[in-house]
Amino acid sequence: MPHQPELLARPSPLPETTVTHDLDSAIGVSDTLPYTSALAVWPLTPFKETLKKDNHVKSRAYNAQARLILIIKLYMLTMNQGAEICILMHKIPNIALGKVQQRHVVRVFFPWLYSHSASLLGVGMSQADLALIYDDCLRPTMAEVILESTDQWPTSYATAYTQFRNRFGMLAFSSIDIPWYRLEDVAWTLLTKLGDKKPAFKDAYFVHKLRGMKNATVHNRGDEYERQLAFEDMFEHVDVGSLVVQDWQVDVALAIGVPGHVVTWHESCHQELLGHLMPNTPMPRIYRLMKNKGNFHLDRALQVKEFAGFCANTANVAGRDGIIALQRM
């Protein structure tokens, strides 16, 4: 057969690559409940809804730990009078308050309960504090703001704990709907009662997580109209006009595809991709990040060694690039 250099040298044409955006979630902080739909409040907070996993978002807390100082062989105990700090949300004690449309979660955060040592053990609230919150703050708030709903709320936290057990002894976390037009008063009254009841409950605030639906907000990144429609869908049950934009972050997924093909990732391209996304970060720092098992995790696909996505915590590496975390599936 005669040699055909043109056929051997010419690569197959690459099909067109598509890039679309999808809104995965939105996280916001406020001292209001800015919803246009009812909020389903749990009298007994589901422990699984407590934020314990790192969402890569930081928020306000107060470091009021005692510090021991050695001065001329004498120990002097001094109190740090509540220096405000900004730390990862999942390290701040919090409880789940309720849900909107069975999708969006509202939590109450207690910044004065934070301590570095306690955050290493967990951010769950004690049963004594949970009882105090319900008996002296949550239930009185509902009785004051929504008088007609008083009989729907268990008379005490202990009663709720007994009442919400099913016949197998498991807790069933039922909820009570609060009309959207009462939420402003509920928010103000609840936070006020929390601050008045216990110094450690002062300055509590709400954290909202709006959960997107897969492929429901897919849009063309270059089409302003599609971007607006996706945003409106994500914030459908939120009074957007009352939000402080700086207090909200939206998690946007980039879906890269090739028509008619299954796209996965090759492990050899990870360093190059990170360098492209963080152009101001020196390659040696990126290389060290990839070797740090605490901040870089491979997610292998199809049980094939070469195919792997990754999760990377880049908050301490990205610098001016401003990228907090990356995840490739």
- Separation CA 317–CA 328 (nearest Å): 18
- Separation CA 288–CA 286 (nearest Å): 5
Tracing tokens 């016949």 back to the chain, one arrives at 167
- Separation CA 148–CA 54 (nearest Å): 39
Q: Can you name the residues that pair with 177 across neighbouring β-strands?
A: 40
Question: Which residue in 35, 40, 37 sits closest to 241, CA to CA?
Answer: 35
Average pLDDT, the chain: 84
272-275-281 Cα angle (round to 5) = 155
Tracing tokens 């849009």 back to the chain, one arrives at 219
Using an 8 Å Cβ cutoff, are 158 and 43 in contact? no
HSE-CB for 288 with a 13 A CA cutoff: 8
Q: What is the pLDDT of residue 50?
A: 93
pLDDT tens digit sequence for 108-163: 999 999 985 555 556 778 899 999 999 999 999 999 999 999 999 999 999 998 88
97-94-112 Cα angle (round to 5) = 125
Strand order across the beta sheet in which 205-211 lies: 176-178, 39-41, 94-100, 104-109, 205-211, 18-30, 248-257
Using an 8 Å Cβ cutoff, are 231 and 26 in contact? no
Q: Can you name the residues that pair with 35 across neighbouring β-strands?
A: 238
SS3 at position 24: strand
User: H-helix or E-strand containing 69?
Assistant: strand 66-71
Q: What is the pLDDT of residue 155?
A: 94
Average pLDDT estimate for 242-256: 90
Q: What is the pLDDT of residue 82?
A: 60
pLDDT tens digit sequence for 70-119: 333 333 433 445 688 999 999 999 999 999 998 899 999 999 999 855 55
With b for 16 or more beta-carbon neighbours within 10 A and e for fewer, the 184-213 pattern comes to: bebbebbbebbbebbebbbbbbbbbbbebe
User: H-helix or E-strand containing 231?
Assistant: helix 224-234
- Separation CA 28–CA 51 (nearest Å): 14
Q: Domain coordinates of the chain in residue numbers?
A: 23-253, 264-328
pLDDT tens digit sequence for 263-314: 888 888 899 888 888 888 989 999 999 999 888 988 887 777 788 888 888 8
Q: Which two tokens stand for residue 33?
A: 């409940």
pLDDT tens digit sequence for 204-243: 999 999 988 777 888 888 888 999 999 999 999 999 999 9
Using an 8 Å Cβ cutoff, are 194 and 146 in contact? no
Residues ≥6 apart with Cβ < 8 Å to 5: none
Q: What is the pLDDT of residue 317?
A: 83
- Separation CA 122–CA 89 (nearest Å): 12
